[in-house]
Amino acid sequence: MNLDTALAHLPHGPEFRFVDRLTQLAPGQSGAGEYTVRGNEPFLRGHFPGEPIFPGVLLVEAAAQLAGVVAQSDPLVPPLKNLKLAALRNVKIIGTARPGEVLVLTATLTGRMAHLVQAQATACVHGNLILKAELTLSGMITPGASMLA
């Protein structure tokens, strides 16, 4: 599955996508991807003036988007409608990303029940762990779809 197809199953518009490339994908199981912090993102102007860093909450969002791509790519489970981040556990933001740096994201699904998807996710920059999180995503089951996974 290519990135555009995978991202089409997420509710975000292009201006709020934080995965540029898929580097690995085991559909419905795990994936890896990248996002390059360009430096021209509007939110960087105020976070922080003169010393821009990628906001921690958007690190979590990037990881959740990759987890959504993994979940929505499962060939045995129909995509969930309006899949969104629903819960966070054990989130640790232990580093930063600056303009010009590449976030290397990983997500592994750890559980799935009906409209809920659980995942473990990380983000690294230059090989250094900057985010570790347990995520829960929630969507709507398409009427008539089987959710036997």
Residue 83 lies in a domain: yes
Residue 146 has what pLDDT? 53
Residue 145 has what pLDDT? 55
Residue 149 has what pLDDT? 45
Residue 97 lies in a domain: yes
Closest CA to 73 of 12, 34, 22, 146: 22
Q: Taking a C-beta distance cutoff of 8 angstroms, is the pair 89, 137 a contact?
A: no
Residue 147 lies in a domain: no
Considering the entire predicted model, what is its pTM? 0.92
Q: Name the residue range of residue 37's domain.
A: 3-140
Residue 33 has what pLDDT? 96
Residue 5 has what pLDDT? 82
CATH number, domain with residue 107: 3.10.129.10
Residue 59 lies in a domain: yes
Give the whole-angstrom CA distance, residue 27 versus residue 19: 16
Residue 9 has what pLDDT? 81
Structure tokens at 147: 């959710």
Give the whole-angstrom CA distance, residue 37 versus residue 68: 20
For 42, 97, 115, 120, 141, the CA distances from 82, given in Å and listed in that order, are 25, 28, 10, 20, 9
Query: Which DSSP string corresponds to 83-134?
Result: EEEEEEEEEEE-----TT-EEEEEEEEEEEETTEEEEEEEEEETTEEEEEEE
Report the domain count for the chain.
Answer: 1
Residue 132 lies in a domain: yes
Catalytic residues: 47
Give the whole-angstrom CA distance, residue 41 versus residue 97: 13
Residue 73 lies in a domain: yes
Residue 112 lies in a domain: yes
Closest CA to 93 of 59, 67, 51, 54: 59
Per-residue pLDDT of the chain (149 residues), as tens digits, is 677 887 888 888 888 999 999 999 999 999 999 999 999 999 999 999 899 999 999 999 999 999 999 999 999 999 999 999 999 999 999 999 999 999 999 999 999 999 999 999 999 999 999 999 999 999 998 776 554 44
